[in-house]
Amino acid sequence: MSSPDKPEADDAVGVGVETTEIDVETTEIDVETTGADLDPGLGARPANPAQRVTAWCRARPVAVLAVALLLVSAIAAGSVYWWLYRPDRLTDAAAQQQVVAAAKVGTEALLSYSPENLDNDLATAKSHLTEPFLGQYTDFTDKTVVPAARDRGVKTEANVAEAAVSTIRPGRAEVLVFVNQVTTSTSRPTPALATSSVLVTLVHTDGRWLISEFAPI
């Protein structure tokens, strides 16, 4: 009595298996199609490098945008350093101390000399100077200082009593210097003291502050 119903159950199972196989094939076709959409270069990669770059950019706009943002950030950081941070570093407290120290040492060097060590004294003084004052100092020492030291034994020793920055900006500064200078000579061996104030202009050259102007006031 039950045998006639059994074939019908088998037929139903068979139809279900066939239907499942059709669905699997359809799914595999969809996966292949999706893969082709994600990577248009599969199976047909452009031989031209420029075409490869174009395809990469079209397929990855987010990556291109990220690179562009990084470049913009780098340029912005460089601009901040050059226009804001760098000028501050060239005029901050440390830079002012360097300017004052350079003005002191340079002033004492160019106002101090002795007949016994004249050539070295003048060479040392010139190492702290730059144009246009270097040329002026050279002309003055050749015409005045050298004859006075060698013929009359003139000797001077300068000491900076006080110095302060008057103005400073990147690459240029002015320092007000107060100097005490003692002078002796063969005709006047008793030391003569003179005080003076000088406005020293310095420029930043090759990592050093050099005197470019020297104006008594």
CB atoms < 10 A from the CB of 182, how many? 14
Q: What is the DSSP string of 164-216?
A: EEEEEETTEEEEEEEEEEEEE-SS--S-EEEEEEEEEEEEEETTEEEEEEEEE
Q: What is the pLDDT of residue 29?
A: 42
Stretches where the chain sits below pLDDT 50 are 1-43, 80-88
Q: Are 101 and 194 in contact (CB under 8 A)?
A: no
93-216 sits in which CATH class? alpha beta
Asked whether the bond before 40 is cis by omega within 30 degrees of 0, the reply is no
Q: What is the pLDDT of residue 110?
A: 95
Q: What is the pLDDT of residue 57?
A: 57
Measured between alpha carbons, how far is 201 from 217 in angstroms, rounded to an integer? 13
Q: What is the pLDDT of residue 156?
A: 96
Domain locations in the chain?
A: 15-59, 93-216
Q: What is the pLDDT of residue 9?
A: 43
Measured between alpha carbons, how far is 182 from 157 in angstroms, rounded to an integer? 5
Tokens coding 84: 């804001």
